[in-house]
Each structure stands twice: as structure tokens, then as C-alpha cells.
Amino acid sequence: MGVASHRGALLRNDEPTIIHVYNAELRGFANYYSLATSVKRRLSKLYWLWWQSLYKTLAGKHQTSVRKMVRKMKSGKQYIWRCTGRNGQPKHFAIQRFGDLLKQKAPGGADVDVQPNTVVLRAARTKLIDRLAANACEYCGKHGGYFEVHHIRKMKDLTGKQAWEKHMIALRRKTIVLCIQCHHLLHAGTLPDMRRKDMQK
């Protein structure tokens, strides 16, 4: 195994975005290898490199050492980035752990294989942290609960056939903040057209 290094392409992003990109990559490994045996032990070196790279990137952004960055984020057994959203409410972004991800199941107990999304977010018109701070699903409008960010690689990948694709085209964004229910339905290909529900009311 090589030596972990920081990722310069991510330094211009805010801390929640950097953490989100790294977490998405780790979830991809966990989903792909979840059915294999002794995964946690066999991929321990890979996880260590991922962990070191994440903290070197965060430390590089703040021009400090990895040790100081780890101490700043350590909270019991977890490592959390704390910040304040646009509405003044505190926001927490946790560093995911490989062992915990291997234990997770999709709703209903089914195993899932979600492709990691490692798109590097460039300067957006509205920061991801501000949109997450709204605590609302940008598709169904649900407030409160757990939210995830869905990415696409390029705007031209959107066909406009699905209602959620039309929504992203209208916003001209490559990301959309979704409640966990909408996100699971989107990946399953069963996300309904919320506009039809509005017209029926």
C-alpha cells in the first residue's frame, strides 16, 4: 500500500462537502463488498488510507496538522465536523466508519449496491451546507428527518423523462437534497411525480 495524501481538487470546497465526498466513496466500498467474508480485516489498510487522506485534506484546508484536526473533531467514538447553518442552527457532519457501514441494511432488510458518487462539487450558486441547513427535501418538501444529497455527473445526463430530472433541469443544479425516503425511491426507479399529487389536492 502507498502513502495517503491530501486531495487538492477538494480544497476549494467547504468541509461538509469534502466529508460528503469521502463518505460516498466509503459507502460504495461497503456496499460492493458487504457480502464478502472478513471484509473489515482485509480492507483495513484501504480504510486507513481513506481515513488519512480525508484528514490530510481537511488539515490542508485549515493549514494545520492532522493530529490537531483529529482532536478538534473527536467526539467520543465518533469524529464530527460541527458548524452553524444559515439559520443559526448547529449542524453536525459525521465521518463514517467502515465497520458500521457493513452492518447497515436498506429499508425492509434488503441488501443494496449503491454506486459511490465521487463527483467533486465546484463553486455552486448555493452552498450545500446552506441547502442542508434548510432541513427540507427539495423534491417532496418534507421538513425534518434525515437527508441525503443525490448527484449527477453532468447536466446533459438528465433526459427530462422523470419528474425529479425535470426539477433538477429547472434548477440547473447537479445536486438535489432529498429525504431518505425519496432518495431510496429514486435509486429504485419508483420515485413518483409529486406534481400530480399537488394537482389532485
pLDDT in tens, 66-123: 999 999 998 888 888 888 766 677 788 888 887 777 665 544 444 444 455 555 444 4
> What local confidence, expressed as pLDDT, does residue 135 receive?
79
Average the pLDDT over 141-156 and give the result.
Answer: 80
User: Which letter, b or e, does each residue of 115-128 get, where b requires 16 or more Cβ atoms within 10 Å of its Cβ?
Assistant: ebbeeebeeeeebb
Q: Which residue shows C-alpha cell 485534506?
A: 57
Q: Which residues pair with 81 in a beta bridge?
A: 93
In this prediction the pTM is: 0.52
Residue 1 cell numbers, joined: 500500500
Domain boundaries, given as residue ranges, for the chain: 1-116, 135-201
